[in-house]
């Protein structure tokens, strides 16, 4: 009887160990899965600030590590003009002597007639044109800073006389 209870006790320990290891493995898999499914910038909303003012209602998105914003949001905040050609799916952005042309789903944009290769092309998302934020801002001589912890893009226009330059 002692041997039997010893065998039973041994079997219970084995089952207990198997159940414990299975639970631990499942918990580890769930933790890894949850943290890798959502990239950090998509887990919370990306905020965009231009010359010290947060742009309200701007739904920026991150694609392949690049922030894209609705076309008019940043362009108009930087006092530039936007024109859309529906036939060619091309947006033209103008301010002073700067002329930037970007075509949807094309890897090349044209800044003052010179081609520039894009990491991520402009996209139509839910019938809204989204443009690469850094390309647009820097083409208009603005400085861009990404703060990953806060999911915040700060843009300072070089033409803004009262703005403090980004370091």
The whole domain housing 114 covers: 41-157
Residues 28 and 50 reside in one and the same domain: no
Alpha-helix residue ranges (DSSP H) falling in 51-157: 71-77, 133-139
Residues 24 and 45 reside in one and the same domain: no
Percent pLDDT > 70 in the chain is 68
Give pLDDT, residue 57: 87
What pTM, to 2 d.p., does this model score?
0.69
Tokens representing 69? 């914003």
**Angle made by CA atoms 70, 153, 31, in degrees to the nearest 5:** 95
- pLDDT, averaged across the chain: 81
Residues 28 and 61 reside in one and the same domain: no
Q: Report the alpha-carbon distance of residue 33 to residue 16 in Å, rounded.
A: 26
Q: Report the alpha-carbon distance of residue 115 to residue 129 in Å, rounded.
A: 20
- 8 A C-beta contact, residue 45 and residue 57: no
Dihedral class, residue 71 (left if φ above 0, else alpha if ψ from -120 to 50, else beta): alpha
Give pLDDT, residue 118: 95
SS3 content of the chain, % helix, strand, coil (to 5): 30, 35, 30
Residues 18 and 73 reside in one and the same domain: no
Give pLDDT, residue 164: 58
Residues 57 and 32 reside in one and the same domain: no
**Number of domains within the chain:** 2
Residues 118 and 149 reside in one and the same domain: yes
Q: What is the tens place of the pLDDT at every residue in 131-159?
A: 999 999 999 999 999 999 999 999 999 86
165 belongs to a structural domain: no
- Residue 11 predicted with pLDDT over 80: no
At 57, which helix (H) or strand (E)? none
Residues 113 and 96 reside in one and the same domain: yes
Could you give the C-alpha distances from 11 to 15, 25, 109, in angstroms and in order?
Answer: 6, 21, 69
């Amino acid at each position: 009887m002692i041997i039997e209870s010893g065998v039973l006790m041994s079997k219970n320990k084995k089952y207990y160990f198997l159940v414990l290891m299975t639970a631990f493995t499942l918990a580890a898999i769930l933790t890894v899965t949850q943290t890798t499914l959502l990239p950090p910038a998509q887990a919370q909303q990306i905020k965009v600030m231009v010359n010290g003012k947060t742009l309200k209602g701007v739904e920026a998105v991150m694609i392949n590590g690049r922030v894209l914003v609705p076309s008019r949001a940043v362009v108009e905040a930087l006092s530039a003009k936007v024109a859309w050609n529906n036939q060619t799916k091309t947006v033209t952005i103008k301010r002073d002597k700067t002329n930037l042309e970007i075509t949807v789903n094309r890897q090349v944009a044209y800044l003052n007639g010179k081609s520039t290769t894009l990491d991520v092309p402009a996209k139509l998302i839910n019938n809204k044109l989204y443009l690469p934020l850094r390309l647009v801002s820097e083409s208009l001589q603005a400085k861009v800073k990404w703060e990953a912890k806060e999911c915040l893009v700060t843009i300072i226009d070089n033409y803004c006389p009262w703005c403090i330059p980004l370091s």
